[in-house]
Amino acid sequence: MLKKPITALYILIIILLAIATIYERQHGTEAVCTTIYRSWWFSLLWALLGVLSAFAIFVRRLYRRLAVFLLHVSFFVILSGAFLTHTLGKEGYVHLRAGLPETTYIDKESKNNLPLPFTLRLDTFYIVHYSGTSAPQDYVSELTCITENQSDNATVSMNNIYIRDGYRFYQSSFDYDGYGTWLSMSYDPWGIGVTYFGYAMMALSMVCILFSRKERFLHLLRSPLLRGGSLLLLLLLSQGMSANRKIATINEDKAKLLRREQVIYNDRVAPFNTLARDFLIKIYRKPTYKGLSAEQVVSGWTYSPADWKDEPMIYIKSSELRDLLHIEGNYARLSDLFDGEEYKLTPLIQRYQRQEKLSKAIEEVDEKVGLILMVTNGTLIVPLPSDGSVERLSEMKVDAELLYNSIPFTKILFMLNLTVGIIGFLLLLFMGASRVGRRRRVVYQTQFVVLIISLIFHSIGYGLRWYISGRIPLGNGYETMIFMALVLMILTLLLCRRFPFALPFGFLLSGFTLLVAYLSEMNPQITPLMPVLNSPILSSHVSIIMIAYALLAFLLLNGIYCLILLWRRHKLKAENTGAQTFEGTDTGLRSQESIATIGAKIEQLTLLSRLLLYPAVFCLSIGIFLGAIWANVSWGSYWSWDPKEVWALITMMVYGVPFHDRLIRGLRRPALFHGYLVVAFLVVLMTYFGVNYLLGGMHSYANA
């Protein structure tokens, strides 16, 4: 009686959440909040799901399994906290001008001015910049809080809140004249405490589930199926050299000296080599041009632009745009884009602004031309001041950055890992059910050595980036992707002893992850963090989420492989159900043995997927709620119904379903179980990529 309505409600809420993010894209945040998220019927759906689930928990006597019972109770506590925040909480903004007292705040929903129980006065507002740059490191408001009996001084900055009488103030924005500040305000006397208690209960119950003798995880770990079986081999790599040609520029000796010179670039101090290399890759898509180094190219453009304007080095990806400009090949000369003094892209920008794809291609080329003109007029290169006002990099840091720039870590690794992964996966498919003894051991040992080499190489690159930037590299999409690749390789190393077939999975997944980082439009430049991202909670949040995604990606490949084996076993059984197959014949025995071997492999793969599902979903859940805590510290709301938050919740709900195979009996069958995991990964792709490129939202900066 309860299973069907609970299932229907659960699916309905997931669908509504997905629709809401699309509705927000079309009609705006305020519209979706009013129509869906803050509506009475949306709250009623959650309440109804909670009541029915609570009743089902007691009917099934789930309280006898304490860890699982506490986990489910924690979700009720979290929902209760959200309800208290929704009904009793207040949100708004306070606008302060220097020296002027303020006794009211602007309510977020009604837009009315409501009274504060004290007076706030802005003493001063200032911006802290990264050393020697114009990049903001923090925004700081110095306040005085005045009551009838006393006055207190307070400081509000990014990730540093001020709490008074239950009112929490967060740095939100500022007036551009420097004499005013905007603070976001929240008053939530009960909701935050209850919600945080729910988070803590959830984390504790998840740990208990992993170690409880009553739960499935320990039984899965003790299964006799956790041993032996699979393969892989080989590697790659080739790279060509560009032919050299005499073009007006500095010689190699001067270029080597110039590469160490320190400049201000991307709002940080960096060697000139970094600026020159990024410039050339942006324009030409390669770190060298006809045998000339990046320093030689930038120097040539700086001192002899007339000689360089006829060099075909501006990469134009769009064939349609190349046709419009009458350009043969993929590269244009700067002179190709000008007709005398007239800039050819100007009329194209206006003419094709409604054709999104072509308009974007025109903008990309226009940006490249702008960078070249910045070099020629001397505005791109900003040397360090000679008065010592900007701290120089140490020689060790310069050496580290030059080393990092000289080795294409991501390119080498994606080529290596993808090649090994493809070969290994093919070997796994064609030889996985056979007994090849010594050959299998040789293949396994070879691929294991390659994995160790790849992991060490990637760790060196990641460590260099960490040292150069002075922070954990998790500040943008490129960095989260290379971190995910690192997690995948470590995970493969941990699994491959018991599950040798994890090796090709690890190579493939890390290779594709690095390929995305290399080819996508993510920004690989090392830049200072935005002030809101400068929080230790953020690093934990992103790290745990990426570990979860890595585990879910493993489940994807594991599921695909298992489905292939299931199809192969079905085919063998079909071939053996004929008059030609007689029990006891050599052919029949070999067929039965092959079917049994494949069946054992399927059991092992199913066991591994059920095992990895626990840490994957637990890491995802903990990562989401760490993100909620970070959001509450940063901008005063632990849940804002941002598209990324909503899709993360959808992902957690979708992957929570396979744990309930006692109720959904179809998921006990390997075919449906692995098929579900394969399809479910589409939600992960939507959460990580789709939201950024299709829906937008507050989290889009994290992948800029």
Residue appearing with tokens 């670039």: 265
In 3D space, the residue among 157, 398, 437 whose CA is nearest the CA of residue 271 turns out to be 398
Query: What is the structure's pLDDT at 120?
Result: 92
**Euclidean distance between CA atoms 379 and 376, whole angstroms:** 8
The CATH code of the domain at 90-187 is 2.60.98.10
Partner residues linked to 262 by β-bridges: 271
Burial 376-414 (b: 16+ CB within 10 A, else e): beeebbeebeeeeeeeebeeebbebbbebbeeebbbbbb
692 residue type, one letter: N
The answer to whether 492 and 438 have CB atoms below 8 angstroms apart is no
In 3D space, the residue among 261, 296, 284, 191 whose CA is nearest the CA of residue 636 turns out to be 191
Query: What is the structure's pLDDT at 95?
Result: 92
Query: What is the structure's pLDDT at 133?
Result: 53
Compute the mean pLDDT over every residue in the chain, rounded to the nearest whole number. Answer: 81
Partner residues linked to 168 by β-bridges: 163, 186
Q: Which tens digits make up the pLDDT trace of 336-353?
A: 888 877 888 878 876 776
Query: What is the structure's pLDDT at 592?
Result: 62
The H or E element spanning position 444 is helix 438-469
Q: Which tens digits make up the pLDDT trace of 413-468?
A: 988 998 888 888 777 766 654 444 667 777 788 889 999 999 999 999 999 999 98
Query: What is the structure's pLDDT at 521?
Result: 42
Residue appearing with tokens 């007292």: 101
Q: Which residues of the chain have pLDDT under 70?
A: 130-137, 225-246, 350, 353-356, 429-438, 476, 519-536, 539, 576-593, 635-636, 695-704
Query: What is the structure's pLDDT at 230?
Result: 30
**Euclidean distance between CA atoms 121 and 141, whole angstroms:** 10
**Helices within 520-656 (DSSP H only):** 536-576, 586-635, 643-656
174 residue type, one letter: F
**Helices within 470-535 (DSSP H only):** 477-495, 502-519
In 3D space, the residue among 137, 105, 132 whose CA is nearest the CA of residue 118 turns out to be 105
Q: Which tens digits make up the pLDDT trace of 595-641?
A: 777 887 888 888 888 888 888 888 888 888 888 887 777 766 777 78
Both structure tokens of 505: 């999975």
In 3D space, the residue among 145, 149, 150 whose CA is nearest the CA of residue 169 turns out to be 145
Q: What is the 3-state secondary structure (H, E, C) of 485-496?
A: HHHHHHHHHHHC
